Amino acid sequence: MNKGRIGAAVVLCGVLAVPAGATGVRGGGPPEEKGHINELAPTGKGWGENHAQGQAKPGGGGGGSNGIFYHGGPVMLGTVNVHYIWYGNWNSASPEVDILEDFANGIGGSQYYNINTTYYNGSNQHVANSIAFQGSHMVTNYLGNALTDAQIRQIVSDAGADDPNAVYFVITDKTVNATSGFCTQYCGWHTHATIGGQDIKYSFIGDSSRCASSCQAQAVGPNGSSGADGMASILAHELEEATSDPDLNAWYDRRGYENADKCAWTFGTQSTASNGAKYNMSFAGRNWLIQQNWVNASGGYCAVKYP
């Protein structure tokens, strides 16, 4: 998800990159135009890279008049399950846990998540506006406070991930760093791996309060939390990309940007909550400031709802 890159915020394979002004960490991947001739493919960290010749060409179901292209890979169909793996010093009474569990319970069926129904596979089967939260799993920082990408995958595997139609989110506390670029190149990312013989989709979401200037749009969010309000937007970004491009070979543009990357760190029209924080949508009995997503219709555009 790009804060899409730092400067504003950063994304991994679908990374929410650190923003570009702040992509000072917020913000995205490399500049759009730097003489790139070949189409780039997503890395899962918010920017594109050159792959083998022909690998990144649109194919399968076609599509591309909306500024994003279908490359033949799968999308996640039906109800997508969401699992949280809280790594570090968390407990069920933490306000951050309450806020983000409400988010997972409310995003499915919302006008916002309905944007993802504009994405489809080669058989014209569309992503559904249906998310089912399957609960939280708490683990200590048993692998330490400096996690490699391989260790994040291990955490997912150790948690017993076995559902190929789910996204497993590893959510770390503010004492934990992801050594491949958290806070400096991205704020979160998504990818997939074969675990227990299944194609498992998973994501890293770091506590945005660890690097507020890079991974938060505002100091305190509408729900009164520094970390959780910031993480909600990053989590939305990664969920959108994991469902529309789970294996990094379905929907992305010529820069290697996935749907949420194209709108990273943009929020559209905003209102002001009673605590002075900005928000742009409401569901699950709460207000949220969540980045826009790319609508794959009507020429393509960033929005917070569809239609």
Closest Cα partner for 102 from 215, 222, 206, 265? Answer: 222
Helix locations, 13-113, DSSP H: 95-106
User: What is the pLDDT at residue 20?
Assistant: 43
Which pLDDT belongs to residue 28?
38
pLDDT in the model for residue 107 = 98
Span 123-141, average pLDDT:
98
- Tell which residue, 268, 242, 178, has the closest CA to residue 215: 178
What pLDDT sits at residue 65?
87
The total number of residues written for the chain in this structure: 307
Question: Chain centroid to CA 169: how far?
Answer: 10
244 within some domain: yes
Instruction: Examine the pLDDT at 292 and tell me if it is beyond 90.
Output: yes
* Res. 18 pLDDT band, cuts 50 70 90: confident
The pLDDT value given to residue 24: 31
Q: Residue 66: what pLDDT?
A: 97
pLDDT of residue 59: 45
Look at residue 21 in the predicted model and tell me its pLDDT.
Answer: 35
Per-residue CA distances from 104 to 12, 101, 151 (Å)? 21, 5, 24
- For the segment 104-125, the average pLDDT, to the nearest whole number, is 98
Q: Please report, for residues 76, 141, 165, 195, 202, the alpha-carbon distance to residue 162 in angstroms, rounded to integers and kept in the order given.
A: 15, 22, 9, 7, 11
Instruction: State the pLDDT at residue 43.
Output: 85
Question: What percentage of the chain has pLDDT greater than the value 70?
Answer: 84
Token readout for 249 is 């070979």
The rounded distance, in Å, linking the Cα atoms of 230 and 155 is 23
Residue 184's domain comprises 74-249+267-303
In a domain, 156, yes or no: yes
**Which tokens belong to 256?**
């290697």
| CA distances, 53 to each of 41, 63, 74, 246, 252 (Å) | 11, 20, 21, 21, 17
In a domain, 256, yes or no: no
Query: pTM score, two decimals?
Result: 0.89
Strand-strand pairing, 177-178 and 146-147:
parallel
Q: Is residue 147 part of a domain?
A: yes
Segment 255-277 mean pLDDT: 97
Position 217, amino acid: A
Per-residue pLDDT tens over the stretch 36-95: 447 899 988 887 887 653 344 444 455 668 999 999 999 999 999 999 999 999 999 999
Q: How far, rounded to the nearest angstrom, does the alpha carbon of residue 185 sit from its chain's CA centroid?
A: 14
- Please check the confidence at residue 193 and state whether its pLDDT lies above 50: yes
For residue 167, the model assigns a pLDDT of: 99
pLDDT of residue 46: 85
Backbone angles phi, psi at 263, to 5 degrees: -125, 15
Q: Is residue 287 part of a domain?
A: yes
Q: Residue 51 falls within a domain, yes or no?
A: no
Q: What is the residue-averaged pLDDT of the chain?
A: 88
What is the per-residue pLDDT for 19?
62
Q: What is the pLDDT of residue 250?
A: 98
Judge whether 281 lies within some domain.
yes
Per-residue pLDDT reduced to its tens digit, 137-158: 999 999 999 999 999 999 999 9
Average pLDDT estimate for 237-249: 98
Residue 215 has pLDDT above 60, yes or no: yes
In a domain, 117, yes or no: yes
Q: What CATH number should be reported for the domain holding residue 221? A: 3.40.390
Number of domain units in the chain: 1
